Structure 1
Amino acid sequence: MMNSQVKALFVRVFRNTGYILGGRGFCAALSLFTTAIAARALGLQDYGVLLLINSFVLSCSAGLRFQSWQPLLQYGSSLHRAGDKQPFQVLLRHCMLLDGVGAVAGMCVALLLCSWFGALLGWGDISSSMPFWYMTVILFMNTGGAMGVMRLLDRYELSVMADSGSGLIRLAGSLVGLVWHWSFTSFLLIWYLSTVASFLINYGMGAFLLLRANSLQNFRMLGVPWVSPIKGIWRFIFSVSINQALARLSSRLTVMIVGAVLGPQSAAIYNVTWQISDGLARPAQMMTPALYPELVALKDKRDWASIRQVTHRILQVLGVFSVAVLAVVFVLGPWLLHVLLTVPWSGTRTLLLLMTLTAILDLWDVPLEPLLVSLNRAHQILLGRLFTMCITLPLLYFLTSGLGMTGAGLATLIGELVIFLTRLVPYLLMSRKQDFGKGNG
């Protein structure tokens, strides 16, 4: 039986997961409407160039972004509850500094590579100077510190507002641009302003929440330390940030390897098959950002019994959800693949089954990764990711060469199984020895 504290925790986790899902769904709907309008206003060719430029900018930003919200939750939760304003403010400035450094680094890389990618992807002939000024939008893309504040104070519903505001600005701007026949540069400016608006909303709401909580008393930007002296904070920051970057890199390399071995058509089938399987499992995966601060709070209280109970309960819920996902994909997956890519139904079920099992394994990682991160074991997760990539990328090449698409699906499943085991085994060892608190002060 769950105690009252764990029941309340589950209520908060599922409520906040609902906010995240609702926000993602609303933003996806806005994006679809915006795409339809902007494509008609600009024409498919220019709209494609707009997407390429924006995708390039997003890639440069994401590739050099620190996960600054995680150290704010990891180390700031106990400081905020205890009312230790000075060390909390130093940590807050530290996270803001991470956002700023990542943004400047991303912009510099984008400026260096802009001309080369422009010639390669076909936007260089539109305007010689335009892509260069748009690269500065990266300065307004990192809002991890503000997101950390909202999650720390359990105000997930506010975090949806910034993304929704950005989407509404793009939609409204596209509508006006369609009516007034605005130029390509005008649409690029709309995308720029929507990003700036999202940045201002995020940090504005973060500052408002901290002011209400009286956590910004005597807060200053000059003549104060910007680097937190908390022991182990840099190892934690680099571990979680590099792990996220490697996860994104691994998924892109996987598609590229399949394409190199089997050709672009097979790469498209592989990618869309994964999107179908992963998309059905995505709602449960949205639980991770809602669960992480709760686990940090339990860790700070050293309530190891509740940690075990929460983890076991979530794994049980995910087990039931996984069966439902498997059934839906098995019945509807081949039809969806046929509709999206007009590929025949025959030969797709095996790949769909393998990719769905992969998505389910990724799903079961939902409570394990945030648990290990909250227990200051982020470096173990990173080492597990590096070990898995070293094994599975060569395995993907050889299995794909020998077994085609089935080999690609099998290699992907093996890779996710290794990732899952690198999380599950440490958890089981800690649970058996009851040493969750080891190394956590």
Structure 2
Amino acid sequence: MNSRVRALFGRVFRNTGYLLTGKGATAALALGSTAIAVRALGLEEYGILLLINAFTSSCSVSTRFQSWQPLLQYGGTAFKRADKSGFQTLLRHCAVLDGLGAVVALAVAVIFSQVLGQALGWNATAYGHMPLWYLTVVLFMNAGSAIGVMRLTNRYELSVLGDTVAGFVRFLGCIVGFFLHWSLIGFLALWYASFVASFVLDGLIALWVLAHTDGLKGFRLVNVPWLSPIQGLWRFTFSVSVDQALSRLASRLTVLIVGVVLGPQSAAIYNVTWQISDGMARPAQMMTPALYPELVALRDKRDWASIRQVTNRILQALGAFSFVVIVAAALVGPWLLHVLLTVPWSGTRTLLLLMTTTAILDLWDVPLEPILVSLNRAHQLLFGRMATMCFSLPLLYVFATLWGMTGAGVATLLSELGIFLSRLGPYLLMNRHRNFQNSQEDTLHPSLAKERNGD
């Protein structure tokens, strides 16, 4: 392993540690907030709070542009060269994407809330127009461009502060609400405030980072171009955003299909089993956002040898980690499922091993997806996911009908196998060429393209 690759792994593991620490703190605070809120509101009203928040979050996620990815994909060269004009135009472009996604999310939330309001447990007679004002929280749910600035400048320790602060606001607010006997409206206001706090903090940190970065000071939002002319930017943004939206949609539809075919109890077992399996693989999956900017930097340097070396090293490490996950799932998983859902151990081990294998296949995307995205193959990832969804959802319905929970587990495994092959195939084809020929030419910033042509 050469010195450049060793330094890269050092940064990746350090930044992954920051992300895991932030996620862990946020998860712990969320558990504490849930316990207190349930005791303050009662299970029924807390359930309404949860459904309202889940609905608004789904509207935000499904219409969100992954603006941090185009910022890293196209902004690295301009950033490293202190090209203030080019980088700041791209940053404003990404901010426009965040704003556009938020406005669309609000429109979607307002429209669908009129249809789904009664089904999700709220109504004007009991709660007035409370959910309507809460829907505006979608305007503060996405700070993708700010997160992109922190990741591009290698300030991952700052990128987790927004979510952590939101967790603290909710936790401390729940304690106050418990002693002051807040109603459901009070807790909704608390959840709203936590999103606003996270959004504002992320924005302020991003501006602070820009102000303290040599050559990029003086960022402004007036009398300047808003949209970047970089070729391929819109196609790239559309591909990565729709791919992520379909991924989240598929996970929700999968649980829904299992519930329709096998009933709500089976849907709960299936969903929690997947959460256990995915949770065991989560530490390694957190490498993806830390790895992506490093691969973009290697691409800009045309260091194909290091890209191959990084990929091989990560796949070797994932092989060992996968074995540990399988053993842990077999030994601990059934007991954990029994504790959470009070279901018998018998009959759960097969499903758990199937779902764990599925999570491991998803885990092996850790190096492949960021490599393909950095080499401008995001559209292939999207086509692969769309094709897989076309066969996997009907297959899940058929297999669950024929073989119950085991059939659902097999169908889920086959679906993830399709996703994995749709990533592995393009990578192997590119890897046949010494320099990943024609894989990234249209991703480049114009200044880098001129340099390569000798201008």
Q: Please give the alpha-carbon distance, in whole angstroms, between the structure 2 residues aligned to 1:435 and 1:354.
A: 38
Q: Please give the alpha-carbon distance, in whole angstroms, between the structure 2 residues aligned to 1:70 and 1:406.
A: 37
Deviations 1:119-171 (A, max 9, x none): 11111143222111111111111100000000000000001111111111111
Q: Please give the alpha-carbon distance, in whole angstroms, between the structure 1 residues aligned to 2:180 and 2:148.
A: 40
- Residue of structure 2 in register with 1:44 after alignment: 43
Equivalent AA in structure 1 for residue 187 of structure 2:
F
Is the 1:38–1:47 contact (alpha carbons within 8 Å) kept by the matching residues of 2?
yes
* Unmatched 5+ stretches in structure 2: 442-455
- Residue of structure 1 in register with 2:32 after alignment: 33
Deviations 1:319-356 (A, max 9, x none): 00000000010111111122222222222221111111
Is the 2:68–2:147 contact (alpha carbons within 8 Å) kept by the matching residues of 1?
yes
Is the 1:298–1:307 contact (alpha carbons within 8 Å) kept by the matching residues of 2?
yes
SS of match in other structure, 1:120: coil
Q: Cα distance 1:49–1:80, how it changes in 2: closer, same or farther (>3 A)?
A: same
- Residue of structure 2 in register with 1:427 after alignment: 427
Q: CA shift at 1:215, angstroms?
A: 4.8
Identity between Structure 1 and Structure 2 (%): 65
2:25 corresponds to 1:18: no
- Residue of structure 1 in register with 2:444 after alignment: none
- Residue of structure 1 in register with 2:448 after alignment: none
- Residue of structure 2 in register with 1:84 after alignment: 83
Q: Please give the alpha-carbon distance, in whole angstroms, between the structure 2 residues aligned to 1:16 and 1:315.
A: 19
Q: Give the alignment's TM-score, normalised by structure 1.
A: 0.97
Deviations 1:75-94 (A, max 9, x none): 00111001111111110000
Q: Cα distance 1:130–1:97, how it changes in 2: closer, same or farther (>3 A)?
A: same
Q: Please give the alpha-carbon distance, in whole angstroms, between the structure 2 residues aligned to 1:87 and 1:50.
A: 44
* Unmatched 5+ stretches in structure 1: none
Q: Please give the alpha-carbon distance, in whole angstroms, between the structure 2 residues aligned to 1:326 and 1:364.
A: 14
CA RMSD of aligned residues (A): 1.2
Equivalent AA in structure 2 for residue 228 of structure 1:
S
Q: CA shift at 1:202, angstroms?
A: 0.2
- Residue of structure 2 in register with 1:261 after alignment: 261
Q: Please give the alpha-carbon distance, in whole angstroms, between the structure 2 residues aligned to 1:7 and 1:82.
A: 24
Equivalent AA in structure 1 for residue 373 of structure 2:
V
- Residue of structure 2 in register with 1:186 after alignment: 186
Is the 1:375–1:437 contact (alpha carbons within 8 Å) kept by the matching residues of 2?
no
Which stretch of structure 1 is more off in the superposition, 177-186 or 249-258? 177-186
Q: CA shift at 1:216, angstroms?
A: 4.4
- Residue of structure 1 in register with 2:391 after alignment: 391
Pairs within 5 Å for 1:242-281: 242-281=242-281
Q: Please give the alpha-carbon distance, in whole angstroms, between the structure 1 residues aligned to 2:82 and 2:153.
A: 13
- Residue of structure 2 in register with 1:440 after alignment: 440
Q: Please give the alpha-carbon distance, in whole angstroms, between the structure 2 residues aligned to 1:157 and 1:8.
A: 18
Pairs within 5 Å for 1:73-222: 73-124=72-123, 125-222=125-222
Is the 1:77–1:297 contact (alpha carbons within 8 Å) kept by the matching residues of 2?
yes
Q: Please give the alpha-carbon distance, in whole angstroms, between the structure 1 residues aligned to 2:431 and 2:285.
A: 23
Deviations 1:351-372 (A, max 9, x none): 1111111111111111000100
Which stretch of structure 1 is more off in the superposition, 298-307 or 249-258? 249-258
Q: CA shift at 1:437, angstroms?
A: 4.6
2:329 corresponds to 1:329: yes
Deviations 1:375-401 (A, max 9, x none): 010000000001111111111111111
Is the 1:302–1:437 contact (alpha carbons within 8 Å) kept by the matching residues of 2?
no
Equivalent AA in structure 2 for residue 146 of structure 1:
A
SS of match in other structure, 1:228: coil
Which stretch of structure 1 is more off in the superposition, 110-119 or 232-241? 110-119
Q: Please give the alpha-carbon distance, in whole angstroms, between the structure 2 residues aligned to 1:434 and 1:192.
A: 52
Which stretch of structure 1 is more off in the superposition, 50-59 or 37-46? 37-46
Which stretch of structure 1 is more off in the superposition, 65-74 or 410-419? 410-419
Which stretch of structure 1 is more off in the superposition, 423-432 or 22-31? 423-432
Q: Please give the alpha-carbon distance, in whole angstroms, between the structure 2 residues aligned to 1:127 and 1:269.
A: 32
Equivalent AA in structure 1 for residue 21 of structure 2:
G
- Residue of structure 1 in register with 2:452 after alignment: none
- Residue of structure 1 in register with 2:344 after alignment: 344
Q: Cα distance 1:345–1:218, how it changes in 2: closer, same or farther (>3 A)?
A: closer
Equivalent AA in structure 2 for residue 95 of structure 1:
C
Q: CA shift at 1:265, angstroms?
A: 1.5
Q: Please give the alpha-carbon distance, in whole angstroms, between the structure 2 residues aligned to 1:265 and 1:16.
A: 39
Q: Please give the alpha-carbon distance, in whole angstroms, between the structure 2 residues aligned to 1:174 and 1:51.
A: 14
Q: CA shift at 1:435, angstroms?
A: 3.9
Is the 2:83–2:216 contact (alpha carbons within 8 Å) kept by the matching residues of 1?
no
Is the 1:23–1:160 contact (alpha carbons within 8 Å) kept by the matching residues of 2?
yes
Q: Give the alignment's TM-score, normalised by structure 2.
A: 0.94
Is the 2:19–2:286 contact (alpha carbons within 8 Å) kept by the matching residues of 1?
yes
